[in-house]
Amino acid sequence: MPRLTTVLISLLVAALLYFTLIAGVDGQRTWAAMHRLDWVGWLSILCLSLFNYSLRFARWHGYLRWLGHALPIGRHLLIYVSGFALTTTPGKAGEGVRAVYLARRKVPYAHTVAAMFAERLLDLLSILVLSLLAIVSFTGYVYWVLAPLGVIAAMLWTMHRRPLLRAAQRRVDDPQTFVGHVLHVFVHAWERAFVLLSWKPMLGGLALGCMAWAAEGVSVYLIAGRLGLAIALTLAIGIYATSMLIGALSFVPGGLGSTEAAMALLLKLAGVAAGTAISVTLIARIATLWFAVVLGLICLGLLELDHRRNPVSTRQEETS
Query: What one-character-per-residue DSSP string does 167-195 give?
Result: HHHHHTSS--SHHHHHHHHHHHHHHHHHH
Whether residue 215 has pLDDT greater than 90:
yes
Instruction: State the average pLDDT over residues 280-288.
Output: 91
Instruction: State the average pLDDT over residues 26-40.
Output: 77
pLDDT in tens, 227-250: 888 899 999 999 999 899 888 777
Whether residue 213 has pLDDT greater than 90:
yes
Instruction: State the average pLDDT over residues 87-105.
Output: 75
Mean pLDDT of the chain: 80
The Cα–Cα gap between 31 and 283 comes to 9
Q: Which residues contact 229 (CB under 8 A, 6 or more apart)?
A: 272, 276, 280
Instruction: State the average pLDDT over residues 263-287.
Output: 89
Band the pLDDT of 284: cuts 50, 70, 90. very high
What predicted TM-score, i.e. pTM, was given to this entire model? 0.82
Instruction: State the average pLDDT over residues 211-232.
Output: 94
Percent of the chain with pLDDT over 70: 71
Q: Which residues contact 47 (CB under 8 A, 6 or more apart)?
A: none
Which among 35, 78, 37, 36 has a CA at the least distance from the CA of 57?
78
The Cα–Cα gap between 316 and 210 comes to 39
Band the pLDDT of 316: cuts 50, 70, 90. very low
Band the pLDDT of 319: cuts 50, 70, 90. very low
Which among 50, 46, 73 has a CA at the least distance from the CA of 60?
73
The Cα–Cα gap between 284 and 305 comes to 31
Strand, helix or coil at 59? helix
pLDDT in tens, 117-169: 888 888 988 998 898 888 767 666 666 667 776 777 776 677 666 677 677 66
Instruction: State the average pLDDT over residues 169-180.
Output: 69
pLDDT in tens, 7-26: 666 666 666 666 666 655 56
Which among 38, 59, 104 has a CA at the least distance from the CA of 315?
104
Band the pLDDT of 320: cuts 50, 70, 90. very low
pLDDT in tens, 41-94: 999 999 999 999 999 999 999 999 988 898 999 999 999 999 898 777 655 556
Least confident residue range of 38-47, 189-198, 201-210, 235-244: 189-198
Whether residue 100 has pLDDT greater than 50:
yes
Instruction: State the average pLDDT over residues 175-195.
Output: 68
